């Protein structure tokens, strides 16, 4: 394997790790807002790293540039989407989970 | 409304509902005066922003005078005729005054506007303020709601004129001009060719047609202000400095969130907070809100005018927010180095925790 391939595999693996963390977070965290943390952060980084690996593999050609564009749009739209969902919940008056909720149960 | 008064103060500025607000204020003054026998007076005042006076003194002064004249003419018109267009009885006179206020001060925050308005009201013994629902004292910066909150802290009666509002969308498109069109066309054409990847005649022609259509439809919506090449370059350079910093913060955020999520005890203490960012303008607030969402344990939930509602996952993420490093970085991108030196949110007292309904129930 060339160093480039190592880098690509490394990026994709780290990306996979963060995507995995996002999934675990969605399952484990207690409410919508905290779950939005998992999706907006871990998922964004996971996708961006994997796409970064793909872009490296393509190199400096059209597909590579397109992948970088895709990556940038993910970076912009993912937190926006998380914000939209959280905001909708906030508008609906959904109360965020707090430490005291856990103790109450 | 038993607590109404016939001594009314109306802050004015150009808006789509300006005309109707004037009508409402005059009608109210006359109605209350005829009920209570008070001496009715309506003062239309124009608070001047110092930036405007500084830069384009002459034209702004004319604009202000014109606006106040309009208010006076309309008000006098309304006093002669009632709703049916018939001459109303003249037994309840309403005196109309106009004034420019705040010339000698720096009006910047909603609090400043409220202070000059309240001072004026106190001087003239006015005890009721009617606000135009489309009133925009801060230009494009949203300021009406915080202004009303500040005004409501006094013991004056504050209300929004119940006038019909034009749908907000109709105000969105700004005036078209050449530089907007050129920027838009160049941007979309480049993007099209980038996606096409091949620069042959077919792509050039279809790209030009598509970019033309996009320009015709969207150039008035995409840019509110005329694009300024030098400012754009400066901001882009600063933004490129910001990106590595943001990426580093994102990485840290992810490691800490990953640690929390994978930790067997799930050590979280979520809390909602309100954060009044010292940042103005649509694009910069959007950048800040998105950056906050991407970085350590904080998520922008809502934006209410100038304040952000932020959900934070842990105490350490709240501490990070209070230090305000991100806010400072965004300010640097949009306003330059001097603006980055403002005090941190914690020092300004810009962060307050948002009570949940659980808390309020406990208080009650």
Q: Which residues of A touch B268 (CB under 8 A)?
A: 29-30, 34, 99
Length of chain A (residues) = 105
Residue A1, min C-alpha distance to chain B (Å): 27
Contact at CB, A21 and B311, closer than 8 angstroms: no
Give the pLDDT confidence score for residue B323 in this predicted structure: 72
Rounded Cα distance, A1 and A4, in Å: 8
* Domain extent listing, chain B: 7-167, 178-222, 229-363
Question: Which one of A50, A79, A80 makes the best mutation probe of the B interface by having the most chain B beta carbons within 10 Å?
Answer: A79
What are residue B352's phi and psi, to 5 degrees?
-135, 150
Tens-digit pLDDT string for chain B (364 aa): 445 777 888 888 877 778 888 888 888 888 888 787 777 888 888 887 654 544 555 666 777 788 888 888 888 777 775 555 455 555 567 788 888 887 766 676 777 788 888 888 888 888 888 888 777 776 656 677 778 888 887 777 788 777 766 554 445 555 667 777 888 888 889 888 888 877 888 889 999 999 999 888 887 777 666 666 777 788 788 888 888 888 888 888 788 888 888 888 777 777 777 777 776 666 777 777 777 777 767 777 777 656 778 888 777 777 777 777 777 777 777 776 666 666 666 666 666 666 544 443 333 2
Contact at CB, B313 and A34, closer than 8 angstroms: yes
Sheet with B298-304: strands ordered across:
B298-304, B307-312, B271-276, B351-353
Q: What residues are paired with B275 via a beta bridge?
A: B308, B351
Whether the pLDDT of residue A28 is over 80: the answer is yes
Give the residue-averaged pLDDT of A28-54.
Answer: 83
What CATH architecture does domain B7-167 belong to? 3-Layer(aba) Sandwich (3.40)
Return the closest-CA partner of residue B134 out of B12, B43, B28.
B12
Rounded Cα distance, B65 and B54, in Å: 16
pLDDT in tens, A80-90: 888 888 888 87
Rounded Cα distance, B297 and A41, in Å: 9
Return the closest-CA partner of residue A49 out of B79, B353, B150, B258.
B258
Q: Report the SS3 class of residue A99.
A: helix
Rounded Cα distance, A74 and B27, in Å: 54
Return the closest-CA partner of residue A34 out of A42, A72, B5.
A42
Whether the pLDDT of residue A68 is over 80: the answer is yes
Give the pLDDT confidence score for residue A12 in this predicted structure: 92
Contact at CB, A37 and B251, closer than 8 angstroms: no
3-state class percentages of chain B: helix first, strand second, coil last, to nearest 5: 55, 15, 30
Pairs across A and B, CB distance < 8 A:
112
User: Least CB-CB distance to A44: which of B294, B301, B313?
Assistant: B294
Angle between helices A3-28 and B229-262 (to 10 degrees): 70
Question: Which one of B268, B283, B289, B304 makes the best mutation probe of the A interface by having the most chain A beta carbons within 10 Å?
Answer: B268
Q: How far apart are the first and last CA of chain B?
A: 28
Give the residue-averaged pLDDT of A46-50.
Answer: 88
Residue B358, min C-alpha distance to chain A (Å): 9
Q: Which residues of B touch A96 (CB under 8 A)?
A: 270-272, 311, 356
Give the pLDDT confidence score for residue B205 in this predicted structure: 92
Residue of B nearest to A62 (CA): B197
Contact at CB, B358 and A91, closer than 8 angstroms: no
Q: Which range scores top for mean pLDDT: A8-12, A65-69, B7-11, B146-150?
A: A8-12
What are residue B198's phi and psi, to 5 degrees?
-125, 130
Rounded Cα distance, B239 and B287, in Å: 10
Give the pLDDT confidence score for residue B359 in this predicted structure: 40
Give the pLDDT confidence score for residue B25 in this predicted structure: 84
Give the pLDDT confidence score for residue B53 in this predicted structure: 46
Q: A86: which 2 tokens?
A: 């959280």
> Quick check: pTM over 0.90?
no
């Amino acid at each position: 394997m060339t160093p480039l391939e190592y880098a690509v595999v490394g990026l994709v693996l780290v990306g996979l790790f963060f995507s995995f963390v996002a999934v675990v977070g969605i399952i484990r965290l207690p409410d919508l807002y905290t779950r939005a943390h998992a999706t907006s952060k871990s998922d964004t980084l996971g996708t961006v790293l994997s796409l970064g690996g793909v872009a490296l593999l393509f190199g400096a050609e059209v597909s590579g540039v397109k992948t970088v564009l895709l990556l940038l749009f993910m970076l912009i739209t993912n937190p926006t989407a998380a914000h939209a969902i959280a905001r909708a919940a906030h508008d609906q008056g959904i109360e965020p989970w707090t430490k005291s909720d856990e103790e109450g149960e | 409304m038993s607590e109404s008064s016939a001594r009314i103060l109306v802050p004015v500025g150009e808006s789509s509902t300006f005309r109707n607000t004037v009508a409402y204020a005059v009608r109210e003054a006359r109605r209350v005066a005829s009920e209570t026998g008070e001496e009715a007076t309506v003062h239309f005042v124009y608070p001047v922003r110092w930036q405007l006076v500084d830069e384009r003194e002459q034209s702004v002064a004319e604009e202000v005078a014109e606006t106040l004249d309009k208010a006076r003419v309309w008000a006098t018109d309304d006093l002669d005729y009632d709703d049916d267009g018939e001459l109303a009885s003249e037994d309840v006179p309403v005196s109309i005054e106009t004034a420019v206020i705040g010339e000698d001060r720096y009006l910047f925050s909603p609090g400043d506007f409220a202070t000059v308005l309240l001072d004026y009201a106190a001087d003239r013994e006015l005890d009721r303020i009617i606000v135009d629902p489309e009133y925009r004292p801060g230009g494009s910066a949203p300021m009406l709601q915080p202004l009303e909150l500040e005004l409501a802290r006094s013991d004056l009666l504050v209300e929004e004129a119940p006038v019909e509002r034009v749908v907000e969308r109709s105000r969105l498109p700004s005036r078209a001009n050449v530089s907007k069109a050129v920027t838009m066309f160049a941007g979309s054409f480049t993007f099209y060719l980038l996606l096409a990847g091949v620069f042959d005649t077919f792509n050039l022609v279809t790209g030009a047609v598509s970019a033309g259509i996009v320009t015709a439809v969207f150039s008035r919506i995409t840019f509110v202000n005329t694009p300024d090449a030098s400012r754009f370059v400066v901001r882009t350079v600063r933004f490129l400095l910001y990106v590595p910093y943001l990426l580093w913060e994102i990485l840290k955020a992810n490691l800490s969130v990953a640690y929390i999520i994978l930790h067997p005890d799930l050590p979280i203490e979520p809390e909602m907070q309100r954060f009044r960012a010292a940042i103005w303008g649509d694009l910069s607030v959007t950048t800040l809100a998105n950056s906050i969402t991407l970085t350590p344990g904080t998520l922008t939930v809502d934006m209410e005018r100038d304040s952000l509602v932020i959900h934070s996952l842990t105490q350490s993420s709240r501490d990070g927010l209070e230090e305000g490093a991100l806010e400072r970085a965004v300010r640097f991108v949009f306003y330059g180095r001097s603006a980055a030196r403002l005090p941190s949110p914690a020092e300004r007292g810009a962060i307050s925790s948002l009570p949940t309904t659980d808390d309020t129930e406990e208080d009650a």
